Chain A
C-alpha cells in the first residue's frame, strides 16, 4: 500500500497533496425491546485525495476503488483548479513524520465470536427489561470497529495507524398511561472487548432512572441557579463554547473574530477550559490529527480569559498562529476540518455540598439529552434533574431545557467543583455532515446563576 500511495503522490502537480486510506471492519449488535435487531458485521474500505493549488483552493476526490490512485490524484488536482479563493492559501508548517502506531487491546474484539458479543448485549438488555414492568421498550447496543488508516502527504510524512473503538449504549423507555419517559447511558473508548464487559450497573441506572422520571413533574419555567453535573457541564462546554473556538468558524469572518478575540474575558477567574488530544484512553485521543500534525494540550480559557483556539494547518496559517493538531475527519468519505479532541473544564475547588448549600430554590441538572447552538445562543435539554430546595437536593423534575446566551452564561459560572471526571460516553460530535466523530469531554460540577429554564 505504501508504495502505491507514494507513487501516486509523486505524480501530483498540486502545491500540496495528501492521501488517506481507511480499511475498517465493524460489528454491531442491538436489541430493541425483546427483539434482536442487528447482529452483523460490515466492511468499509476507501480513500480520499486532497490537493491544494495555492492560488485556487482545495480539490477533493473520494472513492472506494483503490486500483487507480494516480487517476484520483489527477481528479482532485483538477477540482482544486476550479476553486477561486481570493487570497493564496497557505499551510502552517509541521515536521515530516514517519510512524507506525499499533493498537493495544487487552482483549482484541476481533478474536471474540459474534455469539459472545451477542450474549453480552443480551445480558444488559435483560437487565433493562427485567428492572420494572413499566419498561416497555429498550435499546441496547454494542459496536466495535477496527480501522487501519494510511496517511501520506507530498511533504514526506507517512503515518500508519490502527484505531480500535468499542461502544456500549443502553436506553430504557418507561411508560405509564400517556406518560412516556426515557433514559440513556453509554460508554466508549479506544479499547478492546474488556471495556464492554461488566457494565451491568450502567444498564441498571438507565432502567431505574426511566422509571423514576415517570413520577417526575414538569419543571416550572423561570430563572434559576443551576448546578450542572459533570456530564451536562462537559456537553455544555463542548457544544456552546468549544465549537466557537474552532477557527474555521472565525478565520474568514471579521465579526466572529471580534467576538472571539484573544484576551477577551469569557468568565470569572475560576474558569479554565482546554482541549487536549493526548489524554490516554479518551475517545478524542490520537498521536496525530488527520493532517499529520501532532496533537497537544491547548488552553482555550485561562483564568477566565480567552487565550487560544483550535486550528487546522490552513486556519493556523491564515491567522498567523501555531498549528494545534485539530484537523480531523470522521472517515475517508470526508476531508479533515477543524474539530475538538477532548475538551474539558479544569477542576476547581468547591465541594458539591458547598455548591448547593446556599441555594434556596434552584435546579440540579444532570446529563444532556441533545442540544443546539446558534452562535452565542444555545438550547440544551438535560436528561434528568432535581429541584434544589433550602440547600438540599429535593424532588426529581423533567423537561428541563436550559437556554441562553453563551457569554452571559459563562460569566454566570460562579463555582467550579473539585470532582473533575472524564466522560467516556459513546456518542459523538456532529459538524457539517461529519458525524459521529468520537470526542472526549470532561468537567467537574459547575454552578451557574440565572439560567433560563423553559417550561410550559
Chain B
C-alpha cells in the first residue's frame, strides 16, 4: 500500500518520513574489548493535516502500515488546529554527510583504531581505566510530502566516545570526550593526544582560595555558558515565554566579542545535512552578532506560531514530532591567542569541566556548579589542578563584559564549536 496515496484520500496534507539505520559498535570496557554489536533499525513516521488539524503516528513495524495510517488519521481528529504548511521543494546547499571510507571501515579496523587510542593513553597513564565506544553508522532518510517534495540523503556518522577514570589514592579524575564526524579524517587520533596532555597536566594538585578572580572557560567549560543561550535562542522557549531573550531582537544583550551562529551546512559535522527533518534546507543562522540579538531558531510549527519562515532547524526522532533544535552551534573565535590570555592573568582559574551542567532552572541563565576539572593560573602560568571548587553566576550578566575570546576553538561533544572565553571577574568558591 502506498501510504502517501492512501492518506491523501482523507487528508489535505501528508508527510511520510522513512528512516533506516545500520550501526556497528565495538566497546572497550576497562581497557578490554568486551563486546561488539550490530543494529539494523528502521521506521516510518507520518504527519497528516485533516480538516485543518495536525496528526502524527509512527511505527517500526513495517507490517503494521494499515494501523499506522489509521493512527495518523485518528490523531488528526484530536489534533492541533495550527495552520501549518508542509514545504515545497527548495534547492539546498551541497553538504557532505557521507563518506564511503567510513562505510568501508570494517569491524576489525574499528578494533584496531580502539587499540591505537588505548596505546596512546595507557603507556602515559597506566592507572587509567578507559571505556571506549567506536560507532560507525549508515543512515538513510527520505521525506516526501503532498507538494511533491521528495528528498533523500545518506549520512555516515563515525563517533568515538571516551571515558577515562583515573583513581590514585583519594584523588579521582574522570574525563569524558565524544568526537564525531561524517567525513573520514586521517588525523583521527588528535583528540586522544589532547586528552593525554590534559591528563598529564592534571597530575599536579595545588590549592587555591575563594574569591573574585578572572576565569577562563575552555571549550568544554564554555558549555556552562552555551547551554542556557542555546535554550534561550530556541523558538519553542521563546513561544513558551520562558526565554529571557524573548522580544529583544535588535538589542545589544552581550559584549561585542560574542557572536553566536547555528550552521547546519558545514561539511562533515554530525549536526549537518542538506535539509532539516521537515525538508526545509539547512542554512547558516546568525543568532547573536557582536553582542546584538539577531534572531531565533524555528521549525515549521514555531515559525507558524510567530508568522515567520522556518530557519531549517527541525529535528525529530522516529517516535517524536519535530521540534526546533540547533544543528552545529558555534561561538565565534576571537582575536586573542590562548597563551596571551593565560599570560595576562596574575591569579585565576581555567575551567575545563563542570558537574551537574544543565540541571536546575537553566533557562534563566543562572548556574551554580562544582568544578569537575579546573586548573589554577598563577603569574601567567598554569600551575596545577584544583579540586573542590565551585562557581556560580548568571550567563546574561556575565557575558555583558567579556575580557577576551581566543583565536583557538574546538568542537566539543560533536556539535558545539567553542573558543576559550575569559571573564574578568567571577566568584569562585573553594570548599577548603
Do residues B71 and A41 form an inter-chain contact, with CB atoms below 8 A? yes
- Choice from B33, B37, B40, B427 contacting A456 with Cβ under 8 Å: B427
Residues 52-79 of chain B, each 1 if its beta carbon lies under 8 Å from chain A, else 0: 0001111111101001100110110111
Q: Which residues of B contact A23 (CB under 8 A)?
A: 61
Q: Does A104 contact B (CB under 8 A)?
A: no
Do residues A379 and B39 form an inter-chain contact, with CB atoms below 8 A? no
- Minimum Cβ distance to chain B for residue A187 (Å): 22
- Choice from B32, B34, B356 contacting A403 with Cβ under 8 Å: B356
Residue of B nearest to A81 (CB): B36
From B195-203, B279-287, B357-365, B399-407, the one touching the partner chain is B357-365
A residues 370-402 near B (Cβ < 8 Å) are 370-372, 374-377, 379-381, 398-399, 401
Q: Which residues of B contact A351 (CB under 8 A)?
A: none
Q: Does B319 contact A (CB under 8 A)?
A: yes
Residues 220-231 of chain A, each 1 if its beta carbon lies under 8 Å from chain B, else 0: 010000000000
- Choice from A32, A45, A84, A173 contacting B32 with Cβ under 8 Å: A84
- Choice from A61, A84, A455 contacting B38 with Cβ under 8 Å: A61
Interface residues on A, range: 35 or more
Q: Does B167 contact A (CB under 8 A)?
A: yes
Residue of B nearest to A259 (CB): B167
User: A35 vs B26: C-alpha distance in the bound complex, in angstroms?
Assistant: 44
Residues 31-57 of chain A, each 1 if its beta carbon lies under 8 Å from chain B, else 0: 011011111111111100000000001
Do residues B355 and A379 form an inter-chain contact, with CB atoms below 8 A? yes
User: A329 vs B410: C-alpha distance in the bound complex, in angstroms?
Assistant: 35
User: A36 vs B167: C-alpha distance in the bound complex, in angstroms?
Assistant: 50
From A3-11, A175-183, A288-296, the one touching the partner chain is A175-183
Q: Which residues of B contact A399 (CB under 8 A)?
A: 360-361, 366, 368
Residue of A nearest to B45 (CB): A42
User: A41 vs B56: C-alpha distance in the bound complex, in angstroms?
Assistant: 8
Q: Which residues of A contact B55 (CB under 8 A)?
A: 39-40
- Choice from B57, B355, B359 contacting A377 with Cβ under 8 Å: B355
Do residues B38 and A36 form an inter-chain contact, with CB atoms below 8 A? no
- Choice from B32, B75, B174 contacting A41 with Cβ under 8 Å: B75
Q: Which residues of A contact B77 (CB under 8 A)?
A: 114
B residues 161-207 near A (Cβ < 8 Å) are 165, 167, 172, 174
B residues 341-365 near A (Cβ < 8 Å) are 355-361, 363-364
Q: Does A452 contact B (CB under 8 A)?
A: yes
Task: From B34, B244, B363, name the one whose CB has the most chain A CB atoms within 10 angstroms.
Answer: B34
- Choice from B33, B39, B42, B167 contacting A83 with Cβ under 8 Å: B33
Do residues A64 and B74 form an inter-chain contact, with CB atoms below 8 A? no
Q: Does A133 contact B (CB under 8 A)?
A: no
- Choice from B33, B58, B357, B372 contacting A84 with Cβ under 8 Å: B33
User: A59 vs B55: C-alpha distance in the bound complex, in angstroms?
Assistant: 39
* Contacts A41-B71, A43-B58, A401-B360 given; does A83 touch B35 at CB 8 Å: yes
Q: Does A82 contact B (CB under 8 A)?
A: yes
Q: Which residues of A contact B357 (CB under 8 A)?
A: 372
- Choice from A44, A57, A401 contacting B33 with Cβ under 8 Å: A57
Do residues A33 and B240 form an inter-chain contact, with CB atoms below 8 A? yes
Q: Which residues of B contact A41 (CB under 8 A)?
A: 57, 71, 74-75
Q: Which residues of A contact B33 (CB under 8 A)?
A: 57, 82-85
- Minimum Cβ distance to chain B for residue A218 (Å): 8
Do residues A456 and B38 form an inter-chain contact, with CB atoms below 8 A? no
User: A45 vs B61: C-alpha distance in the bound complex, in angstroms?
Assistant: 6
Residues 227-257 of chain A, each 1 if its beta carbon lies under 8 Å from chain B, else 0: 0000000000000000000000000110110
* Contacts A36-B78, A333-B39 given; does A381 touch B32 at CB 8 Å: no
* Contacts A46-B60, A84-B32 given; does A75 touch B244 at CB 8 Å: no
| 22 sampled A-B residue pairs with Cβ under 8 A | A23-B61, A39-B79, A41-B71, A43-B64, A43-B67, A45-B61, A58-B36, A59-B37, A61-B37, A64-B42, A64-B60, A79-B38, A84-B33, A86-B32, A114-B75, A173-B241, A221-B392, A256-B167, A374-B355, A377-B372, A380-B356, A381-B360
